[in-house]
């Protein structure tokens, strides 16, 4: 009798996520399955791992890398998988570990990476990112819009969509008393956010509704980095938060009348899926992966930079509490049905089998996308440097953290 199928997972310990948040929750759910022998390698922050990562980077000629704990994790992952020929490999953060793919000219089909960021955001990574992603033969994405474009790198039919999950048991609606009479609006994060739109909409709403209060969950240095956030510093209606626990974060959702989340671009966002799971309506823009997470079908969305439409949507929720509760209930049902981690893990297992199947016939080599070389990438930034890596610096994604 055959035993459970072997699966190797390269995951990360990201300090701003607690025990219930972040995409790495997928690794935990896969490890619980009896039909998988899931073996997880995580990045770890320690002096020994930094030394190991520095040695690995030196040997590979990666003089620019400063995400040394990631380089160390990639070396340990390569060592762990060396004797498991043909076993499934899943790199949970494909952009963060794209240098791992330099082991192959074209990786085998059983090596899969999840991509989190639309191409518009790739400039924050090293310029070799597009060329390294073109080494993949199988990829998963957290949003649908760019699948045709990404297939130009990976190969026709080799990029599949699986949504970002959420712990719907932890992130759940709070008691009605927690929000009784609440006129609080929550915003969180900076990655892909339209902070200029936020800086225009918040003062306008505060002027029209003096009792409104805005909770902004953003780390202190990030507040200075973005002009839109800087303009909100010192505003009397704004209260700033950072380094909150999972429990405190959930409390912010429970106390919010709605979540205000203008995006410039996005694949997925923890704030978005957590708000849905807590049954809190989200006022956001119709960009990127937002439609994949109920935007326009479960809850209304507005066009990017349409300040008037965003203010009108917020005011409709304020003036129609019954409708607000109806939309919130729809958000919760959508999250439980579509985004619960056990459901997402099941979809991954099915795709592992499908993507690893040998190709039925020899396929001609896919023509590389015109921007597969970093010099030709329309968004390649000449000064791109791993210092700008969104995972190389703590608290960079959603502004919250547990003390590491």
pLDDT at residue 137 is higher than 50:
yes
Least confident of 77-91, 122-136, 327-341: 77-91
Residues 303 and 345 in one domain: no
Residues 204 and 280 in one domain: yes
Residue-level pLDDT at 175: 85
pLDDT at residue 206 is higher than 50:
yes
Residues 129 and 226 in one domain: no
Residues 159 and 59 in one domain: yes
Residues 183 and 306 in one domain: yes
Number of independent structural domains in the chain: 2
352 domain residue, yes or no: yes
Helix, strand, coil share of the chain (percent; to 5): 40, 15, 45
Residues 261 and 317 in one domain: yes
Least confident of 31-35, 40-44, 393-397, 398-402: 393-397
CB atoms within 10 A of CB 323: 12
Share of the chain above pLDDT 70, in %: 86
Write out pLDDT tens, residues 322-346.
999 999 999 999 999 999 999 999 9
102 domain residue, yes or no: yes
pLDDT at residue 359 is higher than 50:
yes
Q: What gap in Å lies between CA 4 and CA 87, rounded to an integer?
A: 11
Least confident of 60-64, 181-185, 325-329, 397-401: 397-401
Residue-level pLDDT at 253: 97
Residues 261 and 115 in one domain: no
Sheet containing 238-241, strands listed edge to edge, beginning at the edge strand earlier in sequence: 238-241, 213-217, 184-188, 258-261, 282-284
Write out pLDDT tens, residues 221-265.
999 999 999 999 999 999 999 999 999 999 999 999 999 999 999
DSSP string, 213-258: EEEEE--HHHHHHSHHHHTTTT-TTEEEE-S--HHHHHHHHHH-SE
Residues 46 and 155 in one domain: yes
314 domain residue, yes or no: yes
Residue-level pLDDT at 380: 40
Residues 92 and 192 in one domain: no
124 domain residue, yes or no: yes
Judge whether 102 and 60 are in contact, CB under 8 Å: yes
Structural domain boundaries, residue 83: 5-165+341-388
Residue-level pLDDT at 163: 98
- From the number of C-beta atoms within 10 Å of its C-beta (0-12, 13-18, 19+), residue 299 rates as buried
Q: What CATH number is attached to the domain comprising 103?
A: 3.40.50
Which residues, other chains included, contact 134 with Cβ-Cβ below 8 Å and sequence gap of 6+? 153, 154, 368, 369, 372
Give 362's pLDDT tier (boundaries 50, 70, 90). low
Residues 134 and 261 in one domain: no
pLDDT at residue 358 is higher than 80:
no
Write out pLDDT tens, residues 210-221.
999 999 999 999
Residue-level pLDDT at 178: 59
Residues 304 and 158 in one domain: no
226 domain residue, yes or no: yes
Residue-level pLDDT at 17: 80
């Amino acid at each position: 009798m055959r035993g459970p199928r072997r699966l190797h997972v390269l995951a990360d310990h990201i300090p701003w996520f607690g025990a219930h948040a972040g995409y790495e929750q997928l690794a935990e759910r896969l490890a619980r399955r009896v039909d998988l022998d899931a073996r997880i390698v995580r990045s770890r922050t320690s002096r020994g791992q930094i030394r190991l990562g520095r040695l690995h980077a030196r040997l590979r000629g990666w003089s620019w890398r400063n995400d040394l704990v990631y380089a160390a994790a990639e070396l340990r992952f390569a060592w762990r998988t060396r004797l498991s020929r043909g076993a499934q490999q899943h790199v949970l953060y494909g952009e963060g570990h794209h240098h791992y793919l330099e082991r192959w000219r074209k990786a085998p089909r059983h090596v899969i990476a999840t991509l989190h960021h639309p191409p518009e955001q790739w400039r924050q990574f090293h310029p070799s990112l597009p060329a390294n992603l073109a080494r993949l033969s199988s990829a998963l994405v957290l949003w649908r819009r760019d699948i045709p474009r990404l297939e130009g790198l990976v190969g026709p039919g080799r990029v599949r969509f699986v949504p970002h999950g959420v712990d719907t048991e932890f992130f759940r609606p709070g008691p009605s008393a927690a929000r009784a009479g609440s006129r609080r609006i929550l915003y969180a994060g900076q990655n892909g956010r339209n902070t200029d739109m936020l800086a225009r909409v918040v003062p306008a709403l505060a002027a029209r509704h003096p009792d409104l209060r805005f909770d902004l969950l953003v780390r202190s240095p990030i507040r200075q980095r973005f002009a839109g956030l800087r303009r909100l510093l010192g505003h009397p209606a704004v209260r700033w938060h950072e380094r909150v626990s999972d429990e405190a974060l959930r409390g912010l959702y429970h106390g919010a009348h709605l979540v205000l989340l203008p995006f410039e671009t996005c694949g997925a966002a923890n704030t978005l899926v957590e708000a849905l799971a807590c049954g809190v309506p989200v006022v956001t823009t119709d960009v990127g992966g937002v439609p994949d997470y109920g935007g326009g079908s479960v809850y209304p969305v507005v066009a990017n930079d349409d300040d008037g439409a965003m203010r009108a949507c917020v005011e409709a929720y304020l003036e129609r509490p019954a409708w607000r509760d109806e939309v919130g209930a729809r958000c919760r049902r959508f999250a439980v049905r579509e985004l619960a981690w056990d459901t997402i893990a099941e979809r991954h297992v099915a795709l592992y089998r499908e993507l690893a199947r040998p190709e039925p016939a020899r396929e001609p080599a896919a023509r590389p996308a015109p921007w597969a070389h970093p010099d030709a990438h329309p968004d390649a930034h000449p000064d791109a440097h791993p210092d700008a890596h969104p995972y190389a610096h703590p608290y960079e994604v959603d502004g919250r953290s547990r003390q590491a």
